[in-house]
């Protein structure tokens, strides 16, 4: 994504502010004393998430907190650093679209398993709020990401042709 500019300025997340519990509401009585997260921590992560997706997945908005949350609570822990995670999922528009599709699907899969005491999925209220935020802007952001990817692909094709002294006229098949 281009640095410094929001991908989709019209993609404003219009949700009521979610409320978070300091204890996970899905854990049973026997786990009531187990530390999960404070409501303040969840709110902070949610606000970081909203800023990150609203600004079109800008690198400057991808915090260490988001990295840790996604790798520890969404089952995607095969990364060794915040930078490698960002590069794998957000460094190109088509990668960001793939992440959005995965995140929405993965959240729904685990939501249906809420009764199962899964330690990697103890923050259900935060996951639900993050998913709702993603769903609220997904169509507009996906459209903007696909347009950006198309522009990159056309520029790459023109640059390759230019290396060989060739040009081409680009026409849409609509």
How far is it, in rounded angstroms, from Cα 34 to Cα 30? 9
Q: Each residue of 33-64: pLDDT tens digit?
A: 444 677 888 899 999 999 998 888 999 999 99
Q: Each residue of 83-127: pLDDT tens digit?
A: 999 999 999 999 999 888 888 777 655 555 544 444 345 577 888
Percent of the chain surpassing pLDDT 90:
29
**Stronger pLDDT, 102 or 164, i.e. the higher one:** 164
Would you state the pLDDT for residue 86?
94
- Token pair for 19: 């409320």
Q: Each residue of 2-41: pLDDT tens digit?
A: 443 444 555 555 566 777 766 555 555 444 444 467 788 8
Would you state the pLDDT for residue 122?
58
Give the CA-trace dihedral at 63, 68, 70, 73, to 10 degrees. Answer: -150
């Amino acid at each position: 994504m281009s640095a410094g500019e929001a991908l989709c300025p019209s993609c404003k997340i219009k949700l009521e502010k979610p409320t978070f519990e300091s204890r996970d509401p899905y854990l049973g009585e026997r786990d009531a004393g187990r530390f999960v997260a404070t409501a303040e921590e969840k709110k902070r992560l949610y606000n970081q998430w909203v800023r990150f997706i609203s600004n079109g997945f800008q690198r400057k908005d991808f915090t260490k907190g988001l990295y840790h949350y996604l790798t520890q609570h969404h089952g995607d822990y095969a990364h060794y650093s915040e930078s490698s995670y960002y590069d794998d999922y957000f460094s190109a528009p088509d990668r960001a679209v793939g992440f959005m599709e995965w995140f929405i699907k993965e959240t729904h899969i685990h939501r249906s398993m809420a009764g199962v005491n899964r330690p990697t999925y103890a923050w259900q209220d935060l996951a639900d709020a993050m998913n709702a935020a993603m769903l609220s802007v997904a169509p507009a952001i996906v459209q903007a990401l696909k347009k950006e990817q198309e522009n990159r692909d056309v520029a790459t094709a023109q640059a390759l042709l230019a290396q060989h002294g060739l040009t081409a006229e680009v026409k849409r098949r609509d």
